[in-house]
Amino acid sequence: MTFLIVIVPVVISVASIFISIWSMRKSDAKVNYLEQDKQYADLLKIAINDPDLHDYKTIAEKTRAQDKSFITRYNIYAYLMWNCMETFYDLSSSYQGIFKKKLVLDTTWVPVILEENKIHYKWFKQNQRLFKVEFQEYINSLNDVKIRQGSVNDLDTVYKLMVSLFPANELKTKGKIEDLLGKKKYILFIAENTLLSGNDSIIGFCFMYNMPEYKSAWMDYFAISKTYQDIGYGTLLFNNVISNIGGGEMSLFLELEIPPNDDKSSDENKRIRFYERQGVKRLDIDYKLPIGSKATPMYIGFKPANSSTIINKELLSAVINEIMENIHAEEKNMPFVRDEMLSGIESKTNINYFGF
């Protein structure tokens, strides 16, 4: 009886404290909700007066054009927006049990975070050091890009991207690509962000011509949408494709435009720097791309499957012959361009590869 007399008041007191804390947290949550709702509304008002700050395509274009005035405004705006999103995240974290913290996102804020993430993720990826690691991991998990094998059904969307990213004189017709996809050797890979809807979900692509008999593959087109460049998706797609073609044991070939006048800021040079980071070297041959009645000089990039610095002449001749006969067969001057290149290869003692 004495035990009960002592313990009952203690239990009641503890229960009262928990009820008090629960009531206070409920009250604070309501106040916080109103404050954050107002903060977010104020940010949207800024965007109403300066709509470019809230349009991901315009943001990408003006950033790429190095519009300093816009970049200054956008850096401030994006930082404020992501701080707001981090606060939403913090307010949505709660304790389940005594010691274990669990994220239970408020359904009010989930669509807001997802929407702002679509617009401002590129900025976040480049500046994530400004936010707590826990929040970084959460946002990055929302942006996991999936790599899948594509089909003819994806071609309408992919071809629109191709038109926006490649020079007109380097583009095959959509009909030609469709014919190539009908062959088992020509494969389309898609980089897809499932957060985005419809056609916007395809953010990158790669066409590969697989030549297992030569333990080689030829990258025909490779690109990431300009909106999503410079945040790691290109490397992700490249490495995934390499792994899927021959389990990473295949040598890779690709055509690269020669940069104009050594302009280091040119798109051609940026592409070369990207491929260099992936381990691609330049083959020591005079390669030309047959286009109509012309032959455009190009670099041939090469990523070896082993550590050798010399490529077998017979292998290279066989690879180029197959590419000309299959990928570039419709070009009128292909036979002449092909024979000239094969003759040049044959005249060399060794075929070396080195940095660009």
Give the C-alpha separation, 345 to 256, whole Å: 18
The pLDDT assigned to 87 comes to: 87
3 pLDDT higher than 50: no
* 332 close to 293: Cβ distance less than 8 angstroms: yes
100 pLDDT higher than 60: no
106 pLDDT higher than 60: no
> Has residue 7 been placed in a domain?
no
The reply to whether 103 and 197 lie within a common domain is no
Report residue 171 as tokens. 């583009």
Tokens 């583009």: give the residue: 171
The pLDDT assigned to 6 comes to: 42
The pLDDT assigned to 28 comes to: 54
The reply to whether 214 and 289 lie within a common domain is yes
Q: Which is higher by pLDDT, 241 or 22?
A: 241
The pLDDT assigned to 32 comes to: 66
Q: How confident is the model at residue 73 (pLDDT cuts 50, 70, 90)?
A: very high
DSSP code per residue over 71-87: HHHHHHHHHHHHHHHHH
For residue 8, give every residue at least 6 positions away whose Cβ sits within 8 Å of its Cβ, in sequence order, or none.
none
> Has residue 284 been placed in a domain?
yes
| 95-99, 203-207, 302-306: range with lowest mean pLDDT | 95-99
Burial of 280 (0-12, 13-18, 19+ CB in 10 A): buried
> Has residue 34 been placed in a domain?
yes
pLDDT tens digits, 259-303: 887 667 788 888 899 999 999 999 989 999 988 778 889 999 999
The pLDDT assigned to 338 comes to: 93
pLDDT tens digits, 10-23: 444 434 544 443 45
The pLDDT assigned to 57 comes to: 82
305 pLDDT higher than 50: yes
The reply to whether 151 and 180 lie within a common domain is yes
pLDDT tens digits, 155-201: 999 999 999 888 888 888 999 999 999 988 999 999 998 776 666 78
The reply to whether 160 and 128 lie within a common domain is no
> Has residue 3 been placed in a domain?
no
Q: How confident is the model at residue 103 (pLDDT cuts 50, 70, 90)?
A: low
Overall average pLDDT of the 120-125 stretch: 90
Q: Domain ends where: 107, 142, 177? A: 142
The reply to whether 34 and 109 lie within a common domain is yes
The reply to whether 235 and 101 lie within a common domain is no
Q: Domain ends where: 113, 142, 171? A: 142
* 302 close to 280: Cβ distance less than 8 angstroms: yes
Q: Domain ends where: 106, 126, 142? A: 142
The reply to whether 238 and 306 lie within a common domain is yes
Report residue 316 as tokens. 């290279």
Report residue 186 as tokens. 């020509």
Q: How confident is the model at residue 248 (pLDDT cuts 50, 70, 90)?
A: low
> Has residue 161 been placed in a domain?
yes
Q: How confident is the model at residue 7 (pLDDT cuts 50, 70, 90)?
A: very low
> Has residue 289 been placed in a domain?
yes
Q: Which is higher by pLDDT, 30 or 158?
A: 158
Q: Which domain holds residue 318?
A: 146-354
The reply to whether 235 and 293 lie within a common domain is yes
327 pLDDT higher than 70: yes
The mean predicted confidence, pLDDT, of the chain is 82
The reply to whether 39 and 110 lie within a common domain is yes
pTM: 0.71
Q: 281: which strand partners?
A: 302
Q: Give the rounded percent of residues in the chain with a pLDDT score beyond 70.
A: 82
Give the C-alpha separation, 72 to 118, whole Å: 20
Closest CA to 325 of 195, 218, 169: 218
Q: How confident is the model at residue 104 (pLDDT cuts 50, 70, 90)?
A: low
The pLDDT assigned to 24 comes to: 42
Q: How many domains does the chain have?
A: 2
The reply to whether 92 and 42 lie within a common domain is yes
* 343 close to 335: Cβ distance less than 8 angstroms: no
> Has residue 210 been placed in a domain?
yes
Q: Which CATH number characterizes residue 345's domain?
A: 3.40.630.30
Q: 289: which strand partners?
A: 296
The reply to whether 181 and 96 lie within a common domain is no
> Has residue 287 been placed in a domain?
yes
The reply to whether 85 and 211 lie within a common domain is no
